Amino acid sequence: MARHLVWWRSSPVAPWPREPAEWSKLVERVRAVYGIVLLASLLVLLSAVAVRGFEGAIEACRTIYIRADGSISPSTAKITCVDNVTYVFTDSNQDSIVVQRDNIVIDGAGYTLRGKHLWNSRGIDLAGRRNVRIKNVEIKEFFFGVWLKTSSHNSIYANKITINKVGIRLSNSSSNSISTNNITANMDYNIYLEYSSNNSILGNNIAAKKVWVSTLYYSFFGICLRHSSSNIICGNNMTNSEYGLQLSSSSNNNISRNNIANNTYGILLWKSSANAIYGNNASDNDYGIVLTHSSDNTVCHDNFMDNTKQVYSHNSRNVWDDGYPSGGNYWSDYKDKHPDAEELNESGIWDMSYVVDENNQDNYPLANPWVPKQAAPPPPQEGVPLWMQRQLWAIAAAILILAGAVYILKKIVTGKQPTRRDRGSRSSDSSLRTRLSKQYGKDGLRS
């Protein structure tokens, strides 16, 4: 386009083309300019039509409120409730739900809550709420799928949250649970926490994918924590994002047993300390784990497999193993770095350290991928005769006490008590003996 503009500015002072070939070039240029103008006009027209239709759709829908008194507004919302506690979708709803009541359940019943890609729109707004449960609903096409601010003890589980700008956002919120959700293709963040603590993010499937045909939107962050501490992130599947898991200025978080694969950065820590990162699988990422200005973190029993670069550390000093014989991490490129290494006494630990840099090394790298151990039942008491075991005597004593109680109860119930007639007859017998004694003496003879 710039080339054509230059050509038109210079054309008044340039000589007119005289050769047929020059005329052909001029015609081609003019056609190109007209083509571009026509295409731009068509795009503007289509945009105007789309905006007009979009505005009409916005006018047709209204924000849904679950009021503090339990009522639903507007009454036309496709949600029913009979006890002011459980609110159940009867069909898909359009536009946001603002919750103003605590201690309730919102059950989507498999239906969809759908937005219109409006700036700062919120699928379900839980600002300031406590003890609200959200389940079985698909939330899509909002700026924030679920919004929590100064919210606590809420549960978001078994939902599908997709194609939002941010899937779930927590701000200044604590003690909330996000579990077993399918959170995919949210453009910036799938789950985002800031200034939030003591929350649990468990067992979610968090993945990115291209969402609109004309653009290449995808999730930049699977899970992102900023200025957040003491959260538990466990058992999640985080794939296909720019950052699978990022911690920024966050500390004392527990990150365990997650599967983090096919991201640009599997795990990234920035100015974060005292986090426990263990039992995770980081595989097929460009970078398995990156730590920058982050120290005093513990990274052990993780499996770093087939990442382009397994680990990168800058201005950081961290712990990479749990000592011997517990061990450190599994590194799939270990034998490439140390082909002569040998296993220590069949312990599953290599005899040479895995060096990250001059300040960081895994002293007891694992020879095989780490697998979580199942809890074993308590061992039997060895060397103690059966008759001396306390449990046996306790059971025997209980049986004896129970048997005694049953015996006494049976005697009380079945034992015969003297009746009034019995007491009367006994009295008559005594009187008779007295009269006979007077009449016949002790020997029964009449005097």
How does pLDDT run across 73-90, given as a tens digit for each residue?
Answer: 999 999 999 999 999 999
Give the pLDDT score at 32: 60
pTM of the model: 0.71
Helices (H) and strands (E) in the chain, counts: 5, 36
Distance (Å, whole) CA 323 – CA 328? 7
End-to-end CA distance of the chain: 158
Ranges of the chain with pLDDT below 70? 1-61, 209-218, 374-393, 411, 413-447
Q: Which domains does the chain have, with CATH numbers?
A: 61-362 (2.160.20.10)
- At residue 391, the pLDDT reads 62
Question: Can you give the pLDDT at residue 408?
Answer: 72
pLDDT value of position 409: 72
The SS3 of residue 257 is coil
- pLDDT score recorded for residue 60: 39
Q: At what angle do helices 20-60 and 2-10 cross, to 10 degrees?
A: 130
26 C-beta neighbours (distance < 10 Å), count: 14
- Cα(292)–Cα(153) distance, integer angstroms: 33
- Alpha carbon distance 268, 92 (integer Å): 38
Do residues 175 and 196 make contact, with C-beta atoms less than 8 angstroms apart? no
Distances (CA, A) of 286 to 230, 293, 306: 28, 20, 9
* DSSP strands (E only) in 57-127: 64-66, 72-73, 79-80, 86-89, 93-94, 97-99, 104-107, 112-114, 122-125
Amino acid 405: pLDDT: 72
Residues 6 or more apart in contact with residue 138 via CB below 8 angstroms? 108, 110, 111, 112, 113, 159, 160, 161, 162
